[in-house]
Amino acid sequence: MQRGQLYLLKPDQFGKQRPIVIISRNGLNAGHSVVAVPFYSQQLQKRAQQPWCAAFRAGEGGLLKDCVAKTDELSLIDKLSIDIAKGPIGEFDAAQMTRVVQAAKWTLDIP
């Protein structure tokens, strides 16, 4: 798993699979967990205006629909919760990762 790659979480109790983007350093991703940010496709207009969210269009990085990365839900995720068998659904380029990092900096109050 590499920084900037997008994966799907394993289905929840409702059968929904949420995409995530790995944001932890590559050197830290060899263990049992990764730091990642989840995506949400609800309330897009409202969330796209929030400084802790980064909006993306369908197709960016392999995303299937318009959504936002919600950095206020930045989490340490056990790899057992990630659908690794499907492999990454895509990958963000440097500019797309910068958008996620800027939102995460706002969340963590980092200048």
pTM: 0.95
Q: Which residues pair with 59 in a beta bridge?
A: none
- Please state the φ and ψ torsions of residue 26, each to the nearest 5 degrees: -55, -40
pLDDT at 50: 98
pLDDT at 14: 87
* 41 burial type by CB count under 10 A (0-12 exposed, 13-18 middle, 19+ buried): middle
What is d(CA 71, CA 83) in angstroms, rounded to the nearest whole number?
Answer: 21
What is d(CA 6, CA 60) in angstroms, rounded to the nearest whole number?
Answer: 10
- Please state the φ and ψ torsions of residue 69, each to the nearest 5 degrees: -85, 120
Q: What range defines the domain where residue 43 resides?
A: 5-108
The total domain count for the chain is: 1
Residues of the chain with pLDDT under 50: none
CATH classification of the domain holding 40: 2.30.30.110
pLDDT at 12: 87
pLDDT at 43: 96
